[in-house]
Structure 1
Amino acid sequence: MLKTIVKYIGTGFLYGIGFSIAVVIMLLVTEKIESTSHGGAYQPNENQTKYLKSLINSIETNGTDQCEDIVGTWVGELIEDDGAYIRSWELNYEEDGRFWGAIARKSITENSVEKQEGTWSCEHSVLFTDVTVGEKQYKWNYLLLHNADGERVYAHIGSYAIENIYRTYRTYRKK
């Protein structure tokens, strides 16, 4: 009888230790994932810079420069997850390299508008932006795929690859 009780206590103790180890590992993995995600301001890393340089070099030698005719007001919309998330924007690009505008986000859980302002430059079909949203600073770069006839198609250059592709339209042409 005593042997059975000790066996059950020992088994419970070992299960407790195993469970504790599993919880600790889960917490460590979760913390590692959270610490590597970009909460807050995102700054490009060295790999993104190398990737961007190689894109610029290939466009410079092989492609058409899409940087002309950026100045003006551009509007667009991106619908994700079969319409569950909608992002729309109106951005004004000034001749002096400044831009400003607003981005609206709509979903089941969110309905917000954030104002953006910053500076832009364009070189060899890559649009470089330094953006301020509230108190946070961002650097977002886009590869211009098409920019003519009041339509602009561009792709966000992410950390390691081309990410979302956007289409935007000019609302008026600056003189």
Structure 2
Amino acid sequence: MPSGRTHDRITYLSLPPLAVIAYLLTGRGEWLLWLSGAYLFSGLMFGPDLDIYSLQYKRWGMIRWIWLPYQSCFKHRSFFSHGLIVGTVIRVIYLFSIIVIVAIFVVAIAQFIWGFPWNWRNVAEYNFNTLKNQYLGEAIVTFIGLELGAMSHSLSDYWVSHFKQSQKKPKKRRSRRNKK
């Protein structure tokens, strides 16, 4: 399988053609930025190799510990980490869950200190409606960028592994006559 630096090169080199294709298909510059940013983020920091101690994992710096439960749940190169669409969906849900847990603690502490009213249901409904009504296109394009970044990683793993397997020379069989 390719090294982390090879995956990085693939990400950087495939971004310009991807950006051109995306702009030709959508004609929207802001969607191109969302897609390109998500593609780079996924290729460099949010890809399938978060299930091991990898370059992507190390790039999370001081907060990389948030990926330890993820690593313990999924075997490296499993369908759930490297699978097309499934791997990205699981990582998005996982990261969103971590963000929500941290937000709960931060808001609870802020409520305790400043005593302001807060209703989680209202906040969730407001954010969901805003996303659905105003930013649905951007959300879809962002997810596509995240998935394309992960796909470039998983497909390059597959191609390199397949190539290496095809290059192995078959072992010569010893016939019964040659055993003496």
Q: TM-score, normalised by structure 1?
A: 0.24
Query: Between Structure 1 and Structure 2, which shows a larger proportion of helix residues?
Result: 2
* Structure showing greater Rg: 1
